[in-house]
Structure 1
């Protein structure tokens, strides 16, 4: 008996796929429905019945206990809580892709649907300003980027515009003191332009920003004033584990201000990455890096299709560390 899983937005569409692929003799083994995600139907057909598009018995299906990589990918995407339409697009992208393991197949699906642009580790012509809602982990991520540059001996400039939040400057100042970096603080866009001129010799200039409410036009206008003060690239920072719809709406708001990359924090504290993928897809953002540790000196991972697929796999290294992590997370 051969088993195959089908994913669709509705039960009716899933059953139609079952009949089209396996025929009328298929037996429904299991169904699973989750609001906002879709339906997964697992069906079976006797080995003696030829199935169009399915391999013959003498290939990878000769072992009834061997998992089908495509079915494994379907399960992984379902578990991460992706919306049904995005889930289906990823699966459609690998319909004709032959892979012997689920991780390779998942990486191929991610590569076909998403863009990956890790933050540069060397010289970059534009200052990078980390933007996002309050509590997303921008300050700690700036510290991680500073540590990454310092460990490679690359000069980096650090500026903070987060002069409103209690302790915002103090937290970043503590990190920069350890790294023996000069931290400049500015309160308005004109001062930011002057500070960027001072830091012109650095290979990279990193700018921490105050958390902005993406649903407050006043907050967004204030952030826009800082961004237009100089030629700055805003990088959106969002934590993992959010509601996918909420994350998408936030991502679109910051995309309108010029953000083109999404950096995701707190992967060590989230079991589902659907919000990250949905936000990137809906807002048209490139996935850049991910924070997988609360420690400033480590845990910033450049994302690629392969590295993201590895993080999404059951039993990944990040999953195993989650229960061990404590402290301030980003």
Structure 2
């Protein structure tokens, strides 16, 4: 019988994830790859497999703690420690332990019972922020700016978004705003050729805000539906680079006061608690409107997405569990909650 959660469709269907180191030196250049061969495994199963490290840590810890014994204060304390160490956040952890204790204190409880409550409470947190990225047809163009530290997969995601929008009949302009890295500029040009989208690019080292201005002007003149703007990777604690990002936004507003219409922060799950700081700073400095999280398959700390949702209430547009063409998909709260709980 097929799992009803195996859908994997939506605006972000068939995207490509990326990797992300936590420094601001150039990572190994990403190479655009052709779409992967059709996979027999559905999206939910790939998500569940990708979250295997996180789920395994939680499941084994829960089993070791519970073992069908009576639920007492000491067990709840140990369970609380486990959930906090899994980066689920203090508030969510408190609700989970409260829900588990309700009606079960000093009674027998199974690991399966705990995982079921975990899935329910995680979905409760994530459901309000699982929102698709919607293109406003009244905006000409709808400007989407991708931000984040180096290596998150921003450029690759832009390429896959361009392919998706083109398939939907939209006209798209790409802007190679990462003027620090020749590899990023070249990569976006390849995506432009592949998707048939014009690419606005300049030489390495040129002013990123000037490029953004030219790209928006070209998109306006040509009547493009969407402008996808790449930006240089930067650590959230680099003042000069963050000021440059603010300058790009100010320049865009000179042509269109409402732009950028979406500022998407791409996060790498392997950064764990550091991702919270990234969201905090990029939201304050760049006005982040939504999130994409990659690399969930490379860490046992996938619970950090729950803590981020709990604290910031920002839309989560997509999650990635690998580097294949089908491994970044629309975010679905129920799928994620069941996968992380191992149910």
TM range (shorter): 0.5 to 0.7
Give the aligned partner of residue 119 of structure 1.
133
Greater Cα shift, 219-228 or 102-111: 102-111
Give the aligned partner of residue 159 of structure 2.
143
Give the 5 Å matches for 1:33-52.
Answer: 38-39=80-81
TM-score by length of 2: 0.62
CA RMSD between the two structures: 3.4
User: Which one has the largest radius of gyration?
Assistant: 1
Determine if contact 1:90/1:109 at 8 Å carries over to the other structure: no
Match of 1:194 among 214, 219, 225: 214
Structure 1: stretches of 5+ with no match in the other structure: 1-25, 41-76, 316-330
Q: CA deviation at 1:130?
A: 0.5
CA deviations over 1:37-77 (Å, ceiling 9, x no partner): 9436xxxxxxxxxxxxxxxxxxxxxxxxxxxxxxxxxxxx5
CA deviations over 1:65-90 (Å, ceiling 9, x no partner): xxxxxxxxxxxx56843233332246
User: Structure 1 pair 104/270, CA: closer, same or farther in 2 (3 Å)?
Assistant: closer
Match of 2:275 among 239, 247, 261: 247
* SS of corresponding position for 1:251: helix
Quote the Cα distance in structure 1 between the aligned partners of 2:233 and 2:289.
Answer: 18
Give the aligned partner of residue 240 of structure 2.
218
Higher relative contact order (Cα pairs below 8 Å, separated by 6+ residues): 2
Structure 2: stretches of 5+ with no match in the other structure: 1-69, 103-112, 253-258
* SS of corresponding position for 1:158: strand
Number of positions where the alignment pairs a residue of Structure 1 with one of Structure 2: 247
CA deviations over 1:225-259 (Å, ceiling 9, x no partner): 00121211321111112222x11111100010211
Determine if contact 1:131/1:236 at 8 Å carries over to the other structure: yes
User: Structure 1 pair 122/88, CA: closer, same or farther in 2 (3 Å)?
Assistant: same
Match of 2:335 among 299, 307, 310: 307
Quote the Cα distance in structure 2 between the aligned partners of 1:270 and 1:153.
Answer: 37
1:204 equivalent to 2:226? Answer yes
Structure with the largest fraction of helix: 2
Give the 5 Å matches for 1:211-290.
Answer: 211-230=233-252, 231-232=259-260, 233-244=262-273, 246-257=274-285, 258-290=287-319
Determine if contact 1:119/1:302 at 8 Å carries over to the other structure: no
Q: CA deviation at 1:93?
A: 8.0
Q: CA deviation at 1:151?
A: 3.0
Give the aligned partner of residue 92 of structure 2.
86
User: Structure 1 pair 133/90, CA: closer, same or farther in 2 (3 Å)?
Assistant: farther
TM-score by length of 1: 0.64
Give the aligned partner of residue 320 of structure 1.
none
Q: CA deviation at 1:214?
A: 0.4
Quote the Cα distance in structure 1 between the aligned partners of 2:144 and 2:293.
Answer: 15
CA deviations over 1:110-149 (Å, ceiling 9, x no partner): 246x523221267473301000111121111111211222
User: Structure 1 pair 86/236, CA: closer, same or farther in 2 (3 Å)?
Assistant: same
